[in-house]
Amino acid sequence: MLGVLVVGSVWSCEKAGVNPPNIVLVVSDDQGYGDVGVHGNTAIHTPNMDALHLQSTRLTDFHVSPTCAPTRAALMTGRYANRTGVWHTIAGRSLLNDDEVTLAEVLKQNGYATGMFGKWHLGDNYPFRPEDNGFEEVVSHLGGGVGQQHDYWNNDYFDDVYYHNGKPQQYKGYCTDVWFDLAIEFIDGKKKKNEPFFTYISTNAPHGPFYVEDEYMERYKGNPDVANPAFYGMITNLDENLGRLMTYLDENELSENTIFIFMTDNGSAAGFKYGKGGLAASGYNAGMRGGKGTEYEGGHRVPFFIRWPKGGVKAGVDIQDLTAHVDIMPTLLEMAGVESVSELSWDGVSLMKRLLNKQVGLADRVIVTDSQRKEFPEKWRKSATMQDKWRLVNGNALYKIDDDPGQQKDVKNDYPDKFKELTMAYDAWWNSIQEDIQRVPRFPLCPIEEPVTLLRAHDLHLYEERGFNSVPWNSKLMRQGFKTDGYYTVSIPESGDYRFELFRWPPEAQAAIGAEVPPRPAVTGTTVETLPAGVALPVETASIEIADQHLDKKVDPTAQTVSFELSLEQGDTELRTLFAEAEGDPYAAFYVRVTKI
């Protein structure tokens, strides 16, 4: 069966049984299938992941999207990321459509306490934030990682400022330690109140920059089988925290009735170095071709361990059926025992019966994954259409991975019927998403839920036809003065007068438009390096375009902002804000703060 438009359900507030299971979902960032010891990697030290593997049922052919945000969108909705508005990690295409129904929303409606700690990466403004999508307790960095443009200025993984339910707050310690500390604290509070909980721990590690205490990196230095010692060090630290959480659950008699899942969001970012045919020349990638961002197996096949002793999920079992991120929401809702009341279209299916060995395999289903990373998706772009052990890649190559796990031999001429079948399946999937991909998420300016709206260039829709393909998405690019051009898609909830303030530097930096900012220092005893001083840009004028209005103004380089005031009518529109120097083309302002006057 084609894994498209499978009918699932919206859920009522009734539960089957008096002791619904708790749910802990741990998702690491950029850790591939081969970046776990038990998967054959003899160089990496992951004793707690290995122990969890032994205690779990494993989905050994489990697939996600090739990059961060799309996986998270599919995981939270049970729907292909392209349907939800999320097919990129930047450029206005990492924002979850505000009418999507999330796993956290349904669980919260059914009496679960919901907490999210770490990386969200589906939007940092209303209505895209985790607190707008079912999570009642949130501590997170912003953007796609610590140190990215959305994130608090000068965060470096240690003693950072994160956002507690939308408000900045400083936390002591290393980022991964902080996420697990807070998750354990959250669980402990719910245990004392006898409330079922859904705890989503989404670590930014081991995503780059590869910052970790030296002690974790040292064990890997000088090992020719290790491609990046700091990357492995971050995973070993994560493993320690995973073990700490597992011990807490054991000691507090929570393990038996907690659905505990460990998975990752895409293929390995730094666990191997590429060689011939996309295979690992050094490091380890479990014999697969490709890594993060690719359409090949190593880009989207990831670890998935699930443990639930009381529910009958057995330890030490491998399920080799083709499964995916879109299956997790329907699976967890069925496991939680919530009752169906009306129909909702999912792309995934519940795996509960399969996990409990009450259902035969899923050999005929088709799953599609792709990596678009453009303003609008393109047919066949960086795609894998999967069925059992077949992989149709980019619509022009067919691989049989049980015979060829490294995807080196195209067999479409040997199996023309299978090639045709999977081509037709992709065509059906592609046709099914056409209406969805025309939708554009919009930032409401100054709604009641977020009276001050701060927009970042990270979320600009880019003028690709003019060669603009990226944004100043991290602090290094910000410091270099990376220039781009594009526009924000916005809505005006209420007619009235609005003030727009354009920034070169983030508001918390309190730096003038024309100023150089000081270097960010290294952190002793860690791999955190010094970031150079941020360059001063000789901005002379600024301009704004919105709702058929255009204003220009000279810039005072000693001021932190340049401000415009406009009267706007309610409705949808586009916003473009620009800086200009004496020479060269104008470029997008780096930040825009909007308030209603």
**Is residue 212 situated within a structural domain?**
yes
CA distances from 356 to 43, 313, 317, 581 (A): 34, 6, 10, 65
396 and 492 share one domain: no
- Percentage of the chain lying above the pLDDT 70 cut: 96
pLDDT in tens, 443-460: 999 999 999 999 999 999
Residue 473: pLDDT band (50, 70, 90) is very high
pLDDT in tens, 224-271: 999 999 999 999 999 999 999 999 999 999 999 999 999 999 999 999
**Phi, psi dihedral angles at 393 (to 5 degrees):** -110, 125
pLDDT in tens, 157-191: 999 999 999 999 999 999 999 999 999 999 999 99
**Is residue 19 situated within a structural domain?**
no
209 and 348 share one domain: yes
| 561 secondary structure, DSSP code | E
**Is residue 272 situated within a structural domain?**
yes
Contact at 8 Å (CB) between 158 and 174? yes
SS3 content of the chain, % helix, strand, coil (to 5): 25, 30, 45
pLDDT in tens, 341-386: 455 689 999 999 999 988 877 879 999 999 999 999 999 999 999 9
Beta pairing class for 383-387 and 367-370: antiparallel
d(CA 479, CA 376): 29
d(CA 344, CA 327): 14
| pLDDT number for residue 359 | 80
515 and 557 share one domain: yes
Domain-ending residue, one of 313, 337, 367: 367
422 and 500 share one domain: no
| pLDDT number for residue 2 | 37
**Coil, helix or strand for 366?**
strand
Kindly state the average pLDDT of the residues 3-13. Answer: 41
**Is residue 555 situated within a structural domain?**
yes
| pLDDT number for residue 338 | 87
186 and 206 share one domain: yes
211 and 87 share one domain: yes
Range of the domain at 62: 6-11+26-367
581 and 555 share one domain: yes
pLDDT in tens, 48-104: 999 999 999 999 999 999 999 999 999 999 999 999 999 999 999 999 999 999 999
d(CA 95, CA 549): 26
**Is residue 544 situated within a structural domain?**
yes
What pTM, to 2 d.p., does this model score? 0.96
**Coil, helix or strand for 166?**
coil
| pLDDT number for residue 345 | 83
| pLDDT number for residue 101 | 95
108 and 246 share one domain: yes
| pLDDT number for residue 227 | 98
**Is residue 393 situated within a structural domain?**
yes
Domain of residue 558, CATH code: 2.60.120
Mean pLDDT across the chain: 95
Residue 5: pLDDT band (50, 70, 90) is very low
- Percentage of the chain lying above the pLDDT 90 cut: 94
292: burial class by Cβ within 10 Å (0-12, 13-18, 19+)? buried
Q: Please say if the pLDDT value at position 419 is more than 60.
A: yes
Q: Please say if the pLDDT value at position 109 is more than 50.
A: yes
pLDDT in tens, 394-414: 999 999 999 999 999 999 999
Residue 7: pLDDT band (50, 70, 90) is very low
400 and 304 share one domain: no
297 and 320 share one domain: yes
Structure-token match 């220039």, residue found: 483
Q: Please say if the pLDDT value at position 121 is more than 50.
A: yes
Kindly state the average pLDDT of the residues 28-47. Answer: 98
DSSP string, 45-94: --HHHHHHHHHSEEEEEEE--SSHHHHHHHHHHSS-HHHHTBSSSSTT-B
Structure-token match 């960086």, residue found: 382
Domain of residue 123, CATH code: 3.40.720.10
First and final C-alpha spacing in the chain = 55
d(CA 78, CA 5): 10
Contact at 8 Å (CB) between 26 and 259? no
| pLDDT number for residue 360 | 77
**Is residue 18 situated within a structural domain?**
no
Q: Please say if the pLDDT value at position 9 is more than 70.
A: no
393 and 483 share one domain: no
Domain tally for the chain? 3
Q: Which amino acid belongs to residue 369?
A: T
Sheet holding 383-387, edge to edge: 367-370, 383-387, 390-393, 397-400
Contact at 8 Å (CB) between 162 and 141? yes
* Bridge partners of residue 200, in order along the sequence: 25, 116
Domain-ending residue, one of 333, 367, 401: 367
Domain-ending residue, one of 437, 459, 474: 437
CA distances from 457 to 47, 466, 592 (A): 41, 17, 8
298 and 389 share one domain: no
How many Cα atoms are found within 13 Å in the side-chain-facing hemisphere of 8? 28
pLDDT in tens, 205-222: 999 999 999 999 999 999
Cis peptide before 209 (omega within 30 of 0): yes
